[in-house]
Amino acid sequence: MREAIAIRHVAFEDLGSLAQYLPALGYDIRYIDAGREPLSLEHLTNTDLLIVLGGPISANDEALYPFLAEERQAIEQRIEQKKPTLGLCLGAQLIARALGARVYPAAAPEIGWAPVELTAAGRNSCLRHLDGLPVIHWHGETFELPPTAVHLARSASCEHQAFQLEQHTLALQFHPEVDAAELESWYIGHTLELTQAGIDINLLRQQGRERAPALAAAAHDCLSDWLRQQTN
């Protein structure tokens, strides 16, 4: 079995449905809780697969959360060595920063279920499994497209939703990994953010129950396709 390290920033934003699929795809999962456990640059750089998960902090907050600089450095080294790296939401923003792109506040928070529009490159990528499918968005910041990256997806309110660097690095600002039951922890943990944004939690919960199962199946197909590319 190969090793997959997932950097987790808050306990309830974990691998979600992806945790069910990675062992079947040949990966043992190890979580590292940022801020609570030491981040070994050597280990993060050399693991078979690095997944940088989401969280409510900014990718620009290195002065407040010094571990973000360590994560960015590990991402930079993995990119240089062309090692498989997946970033989700905050993780995608950290990849953008590692590639020299600006991360900045979006015009408005994007929270809720909506499809992403795939670019031509996106339709030819592993994201083709998500075409037309509602995904969950949950972010207040966004990023410029790194000059070396390929643009894969946009949404109605956010131009840069996904990009890739060659085959080894994939950055997704939306959340393909969510599980309907685990989303309940998100509603609790992010209650202040949801209230401030005027989000109807009951509606969000209903949509999660209806839409998360199809998203989980598509996420499996996306992950399988992307990981297959790493061994070809």
Give the span between the Cα atoms of 90 and 141, in whole angstroms. Answer: 9
On whether the pTM is more than 0.85, the answer is yes
- Per-residue pLDDT 10s for the chain (232 aa) are 999 999 999 999 999 999 999 999 999 999 999 999 999 999 999 999 999 999 999 999 999 999 999 999 999 999 999 999 999 999 999 999 999 999 999 999 999 999 999 999 999 999 999 999 999 999 999 999 999 999 999 999 999 999 999 999 999 999 999 999 999 999 999 999 999 999 999 999 999 999 999 999 999 999 999 999 886 5
Cα–Cα distances in Å, from 19 out to 41, 71, 217?
23, 21, 13
Domain count, the chain: 1
Q: Output the domain CATH number for residue 148.
A: 3.40.50.880
